[in-house]
Amino acid sequence: MTRIALAVEYDGSRYHGWQRQQVVDSVQARLEAALSQVADAPVEVVCAGRTDAGVHATNQIVHFDTPTQRPDQAWVFGGTHALPADISIIWARRVEPDFHARFSALARSYRYIILNRQTRSAVHHGHVTWWRERLNAELMHEAGQFLLGEHDFSSFRAKGCQAQSPIRTVESFSVQRAGDFITIDITANAFLHHMVRNIVGTLLPIGAGVQSVEFMAALLQSKQRALAGITAPAAGLYLVNVVYPEHFSIPEPVAIPGFYAPFMPA
């Protein structure tokens, strides 16, 4: 039995999330069907982080076990050929049996993209969140610094979150503006369900001047989801990087020019 790791890129717009479901379409189901064709046998995959309906990924990491022997490139090209155009396999490689896409991960990075202008975009529809009211990215960045470190993130936890503990460690947080686009980058050891989208929803009134920067600190301490902002739309969210121990030799993502370029460590 061989363990294979893959990096997968997908546009989540028309899928009901990553996780395989019986009735609706999912990224996992599509990927498993494609890899099963290459393996000529059933394949089940495990991912680094399950994304919600409408959420995208530029560097989702998965693994699967198979008795089928294929060159790495066969998994890449054969698998991608069998996938719809909005899902692509970036690379494939054999890994040690103790590698686990989810449990071996040291950190995950997400990027949230906001188009902040008066008119919506036709080109970026479904790939960014449009916010008409002018936002101050500097205030949003300042507020986000209160999230750094280990905290109880209950204030940003979805009601149906199944995580055993709300304690998470945020390693980096930044908000930057480039023209009409605001990008929010956050890296943590792990994330609660809807954690990033709930944080973004809380930053929006801060950026608009409705709430103070200090509101973020008070909210974090309150541990009350009801006091936080909205759950921001899924369209602007991307899983962009997963970090593993060096001995697994998992490739780092390659920067993609443009507004959706994945977060790259300094």
Catalytic: 52? yes
Nearest alpha carbon to residue 240 among 229, 256, 222, 226:
256
Residue the block writes with tokens 């973020």 = 216
Nearest alpha carbon to residue 189 among 165, 162, 171:
171
User: Distance between CA atoms of 81 and 75, rounded to whole angstroms?
Assistant: 10
SS3 (DSSP) at 171: strand
Q: Give the number of other Cβ atoms within 10 Å of residue 195's Cβ.
A: 24
Catalytic residue chosen out of the listed positions 40, 52, 72, 98: 52
User: Distance between CA atoms of 254 and 17, rounded to whole angstroms?
Assistant: 24
DSSP letter string, 204-261: HHHHTTSS-THHHHHHHHHT-GGGS-----GGGEEEEEEE--GGG-PPPPPP-SSTTP
User: Distance between CA atoms of 152 and 201, rounded to whole angstroms?
Assistant: 18
Q: Give the number of other Cβ atoms within 10 Å of residue 265's Cβ.
A: 12
Active site residues: 52
